Amino acid sequence: MPRLLLSSKSVKSVSVDALVLGLTPAPAGRSTAPVLLGGEDLPRATRSALVEAAVSLGATGAAGQVHLVPGIAGLGTSFVALAGVGSDPDHETLRRGAGAAVRALSGQRRVALGFPVPDASTAAALAEGAALGAYAFTRYRAATREPVAEVTLLVDKPRDKALRAAVERAGVVAAAVASARDLVNTAPADLAPADLAAAAVRAAAETTLTVRVLDEDALAAGGYGGILGVGQGSSRPPRLVVVEHAPARAKGHLAFVGKGITFDSGGLSIKPAAGMETMKSDMSGAAAVLAAVRAVAELGLPVKVTGWLAVAENMPSGTAIRPSDVLTMFGGTTVEVLNTDAEGRLVLGDALVAASAEQPDAVVDVATLTGAQVVALGNRVSGVMGNDDDFRAAVLAAAERAGESFWPMPLPDELRATLDSPVADLANIGDRAGGMLVAAVFLREFVGSGPSGAPIPWAHLDIAGPAFVTGEPWGYTHRGGTGVAVRTLVALAEDHAAR
């Protein structure tokens, strides 16, 4: 993670390795040259040179473009990165522009952002985008360009309390996303269920979090048939990890539940070889939950948040569950397993029952649950389903403010009948059509009721596509694990604390 600094130095006097300025398209009907966003105090000749360089490089100011311009006279930097932010930039556009520029400047140590900063929320967006863009996963690489180590945001009042608090929060959240990315990018040989549990224990030791780990013996004693069933084909046994932020005088209680399949072969319903290439990412939900609860603790939010990480490795072997086996879930519901590759909903079912038993105000689960999510919404938009329209709207509002793309999806009641089993309370698969919705309908069966007898408000986030990038990076998003949902969960906790 880079250091995030504030400075009142001008664009022309700051001493860094590279400077980032924004670029917007030319106003309609006027010059075709793009317009600089920032650097208003630069000499006219320097601004003209930058615009001319932008034109010669084909820069238009469109969002997502980054062009590097070396050796501009009148500046004390080696490079200027011109980041396109579109005609009407909002916070997310600025976040992505700053992130894309800092990502392109990998190999430069110190970078300054010269965008206009009218308020603390703009400062937060720029700082967060830059920090997310400076990520690199280097565990398995002998040589790589070092990411940017220091980002200075040029502002008028660097000692302003609101600005400083906004940038500090941005650093905490970006570090949480980076920690989730690290877990997802780790090779599955190095991240067994016990290793993910150990990561949670380390997080607790470094913060005020408490952690509880249920190993295979405790899971068996407690009747967690879903987690045990999925994990029984692996030589590396499953875990249920509970991490908790419980401040004094907490304003409410949220439960976050994360799917943590550290590698998904499909079990005996085995995936094709190509389908396994990214299956180290099938624990992205658990990684997001762990990172978010840690960020909530580091930010000192006055709300209780309990994270439930349902962790197992889904492998084929002589001890693996078979199609047509029946599992008894935590809480007593029986499930006929018709497809062992529909395993995420089984581990989540156990954890949802356990989380509900604590009577939180609301529950959110996060999971790379279905390929149907990718078919419906693509690789950049996650689906949101739930049993309460108001709570689903609250999750969507938090996601929008955080800059993460989620889309509301329905839970048609008629899909429940497709999950009927002749031998058990439920089957683990139903109709293929609407598979994302069918999976969420299955999960709804495991959400408990509150003190009034009404169902606990619950939202299900299917992040299957956005959790892992196999194509080109974009904005502040790198190849590999993205850490999606971390920022949304943190924003939701902030909203809950502010009620």
pLDDT tens for each residue of 119-164: 999 999 999 999 999 999 999 998 778 999 999 999 999 999 999 9
Residue 67 CB partners (closer than 8 Å, separation 6+): 23, 53, 54, 57, 58, 59, 81, 82
427 plus 494 within the same structural domain = yes
365, part of any domain: yes
How far apart, in whole angstroms, are the C-alpha atoms of residue 326 and residue 336? Answer: 4
- Per-residue pLDDT band at 29 (split at 50, 70, 90): low
- Which range, 26-40, 72-86, 403-417, has the best average confidence (pLDDT)? 403-417
**For residues 485 and 364, what is the distance between their CA atoms, to the nearest angstrom?**
11
Tokens 């916070």 label which residue? 91
Written as six digits, the tokens of 392 are 């689903």
Q: Is 294 a catalytic residue?
A: no
pLDDT mean over 323-351 = 98
Q: How confident is the model at residue 94 (pLDDT cuts 50, 70, 90)?
A: very high
Q: Select from 124, 157, 190 the last residue of a domain.
A: 157
Query: Does a structural domain hold residue 164?
Result: no
Q: Is 182 annotated as a binding residue?
A: no
Q: Indicate if 373 and 425 belong to the same structural domain.
A: yes
Based on the domain organization, do 232 and 365 belong to the same domain?
A: yes
pLDDT for residue 288: 98
Among residues 345, 392, 444, 487, the one annotated as catalytic is: 345
Do the beta carbons of residue 170 and residue 127 sit within 8 Å?
A: yes
Range of the domain at 142: 3-157
Half-sphere exposure (CA, 13 Å, Cβ side) for 323? 10
Same structural domain, 134 and 239: no
Quick one: pLDDT at residue 495?
98
* pLDDT at residue 231 tops 80: yes
User: Domain check: are 290 and 398 in the same one?
Assistant: yes
Task: Answer whether residue 162 is part of any domain.
Answer: no
Q: Is residue 325 in a domain? A: yes
Is 487 in the active site?
no
From the centroid of its chain, how far is CA 378?
16
Q: Do 473 and 338 fall into the same domain?
A: yes
161 among annotated binding-site residues: no
Same domain, yes or no: 94 and 239: no
Residue position matching structure tokens 């880079």? 2
Of the candidates 212, 251, 271, 416, the residue annotated as catalytic is: 271
User: Is 282 assigned a ligand-binding role in the annotation?
Assistant: yes
d(CA 19, CA 25): 20
Residues 343/433, Cβ–Cβ less than 8 Å = no
Q: Which amino acid is at 48?
A: S
Q: How confident is the model at residue 333 (pLDDT cuts 50, 70, 90)?
A: very high
In the structure, what pLDDT confidence band is assigned to residue 478 with cuts at 50, 70 and 90?
Answer: very high
- Apex 256 CA angle, 250 and 262, nearest 5: 145
Is pLDDT at 353 greater than 80 in this prediction?
A: yes
CA distance 182 to 480: 9
Task: Say how far apart CA 489 and CA 398 lie, in whole Å.
Answer: 8
Chain-centre distance for alpha carbon 377: 17
pLDDT of residue 73: 80
Average pLDDT of 58-87? 91
Same domain, 303 and 345: yes
Please tell me the predicted confidence (pLDDT) of residue 71.
78
In a domain, 165, yes or no: no
Distance between CA atoms of residues 397 and 394, nearest Å: 5
User: Domain of 114: which CATH number?
Assistant: 3.40.220.10
Q: Centre a 10 Å sphere on the Cβ of residue 88 and count the other Cβ atoms it contains.
A: 9
Which residues are registered as beta bridge partners of 382? 406
Residue 76 pLDDT greater than 90, yes or no:
no
- Reported as a pLDDT band with limits 50, 70 and 90, residue 488 is very high
Are 147 and 193 contained in the same domain? no
The tokens describing 123, both together, are: 């400062």
DSSP string spanning 189-217? GG--HHHHHHHHHHHHHTSS-EEEEE-HH
- Looking at the fold, whether 193 and 118 belong to one and the same domain comes out as no
Examine residue 167 and state whether it is found in any structural domain, yes or no: no
146 assigned ligand-binding residue: no
pLDDT, one tens digit per residue, over 255-279 is 999 999 999 999 999 999 999 999 9
**pLDDT higher than 80, residue 429:** yes
Number of domains in the chain: 2
Domain closes at, from 131, 157, 183: 157
d(CA 60, CA 262) in angstroms, rounded, equals 43
Tell whether residue 244 is among the known ligand binding residues: no
Q: Which residues contact 98 (CB under 8 A, 6 or more apart)?
A: 20, 83, 113, 115, 125, 126, 127, 129, 130, 133, 476
- Residue where one domain finishes, among candidates 92, 126, 157: 157
Q: Over the chain, what is the mean pLDDT?
A: 96
CATH code, domain carrying 460: 3.40.630.10
pLDDT in tens, 99-121: 999 999 999 999 999 999 999 99
The answer on 194 and 54 residing in a single domain is no
**DSSP SS3 for 130:** helix
Task: Report yes or no on 170 lying in a domain.
Answer: no
Is residue 169 domain-resident?
no
Q: Do 350 and 404 fall into the same domain? A: yes
Radius of gyration of the chain (CA): 24
pLDDT tens digits, 281-291: 999 999 999 99
